[in-house]
Amino acid sequence: MASSIRWAKIEDIIRVIRTISEIGGTVSFGPFIRWPKTKISKMRKSIIHRTTTETDITIELNIDGTGKYRIQTPIGFLTHMLESFAKHGLFDITMSAAGDLHVDQHHLVEDCGIALGQAFKQALGDKKGINRAGYFVYPMDEALAVVAVDIGGRPYLQFEAEFKRRFCGELDTDLLEDFFQGFATHLGANVVVRMPYGRSDHHKIEAIFKAFAKAMKMACSTDPRAIENIPSTKGSIDDSDH
Ligand SMILES: [Mn+2]
């Protein structure tokens, strides 16, 4: 009898610990033992289906991934860039995109940027605990790209990159600015893209996407000291945040 009472109490204690940990708390057993050691944070994942008369795009994103990707677009070089973005940002991305290429590539490339921005916005939620800003300077042989982002709610793009040829592979390079504009607008982010030098258009664009990936990884990463903080003196991040 005594032992069954003891076991019942232990089961109760375990149940309480589980409940506390499931709602994101920690349980301390004194100065040396804490369980769980870190709070269980919510999964930063999203699924976006964006269908218009011009394009049809689906994205599954896990911000806290390992860089696994399965990306299908009808433009080979765009697929290569999005795969590079997933790989170097350690984002898991499953994406398929189709569109009215018989018109030109504009709708598809811009809408890929829009849908990717929406996917990050949805996955980040209230943005509690994130660094919010991130930057990277990425060299690729003779090319150098600089990307800075601030996921502060205010959409703004600065884009300064020139390319020798209108097309890199099959991708219309004129549309890169539209891709980043769509991303910045729909995430609610300030995005800066600079390409100070480079020769090969392939290297230049790939350096931009790698810098973009690393800058986004940094901006989305969390600081354990700020896990309950929304990173704004306003207490919320919206379209007018300064
Ligand atoms: Mn390449």
Output the CA–CA distances (angstroms, integers) from residue 166 to 163, 175, 180, in the order listed.
7, 10, 17
- The whole-number average pLDDT for the span 169-185 is 98
Q: 27 and 79 share a domain?
A: no
Q: 93 and 206 share a domain?
A: yes
CATH of the domain at 197: 3.30.230.40
Q: Of the ranges 12-16, 26-30, 32-36, which is most confident?
A: 12-16
Whether residue 236 is contained in a domain is answered as no
- pLDDT(27) > 50: no
Alpha helices (runs of H) in the chain, residue ranges in sequence order: 2-22, 76-89, 106-124, 176-187, 201-220
Whole-prediction pTM value? 0.83
Question: Among residues 223, 219, 168, 163, which one has the least CA distance to residue 191?
Answer: 219
58 burial via Cβ count (<10 Å: 0-12, 13-18, 19+): middle
Q: 31 and 49 share a domain?
A: no
Q: 19 and 66 share a domain?
A: no
Whether residue 232 is contained in a domain is answered as no
Output the CA–CA distances (angstroms, integers) from residue 136 to 2, 65, 82, 89, 216, in the order listed.
63, 20, 17, 11, 9
**To the nearest whole number, what is the mean pLDDT of the chain?**
89
Q: 83 and 20 share a domain?
A: no
- What's the CA-to-centroid distance between 181 and ligand 1, angstroms? 23
Cβ count near 89 (within 10 Å): 23
Q: Give the structural domain span for 213.
A: 45-225
Whether residue 40 is contained in a domain is answered as no
- What's the CA-to-centroid distance between 177 and ligand 1, angstroms? 19
Whether residue 207 is contained in a domain is answered as yes
- What's the CA-to-centroid distance between 81 and ligand 1, angstroms? 8
pLDDT at 25: 44
pLDDT one-digit tens code per residue, 209-223: 999 999 999 999 999
- What's the CA-to-centroid distance between 144 and ligand 1, angstroms? 14
pLDDT one-digit tens code per residue, 104-156: 999 999 999 999 999 999 999 999 999 999 999 999 999 999 999 999 999 99
- What's the CA-to-centroid distance between 207 and ligand 1, angstroms? 9
Q: 19 and 67 share a domain?
A: no
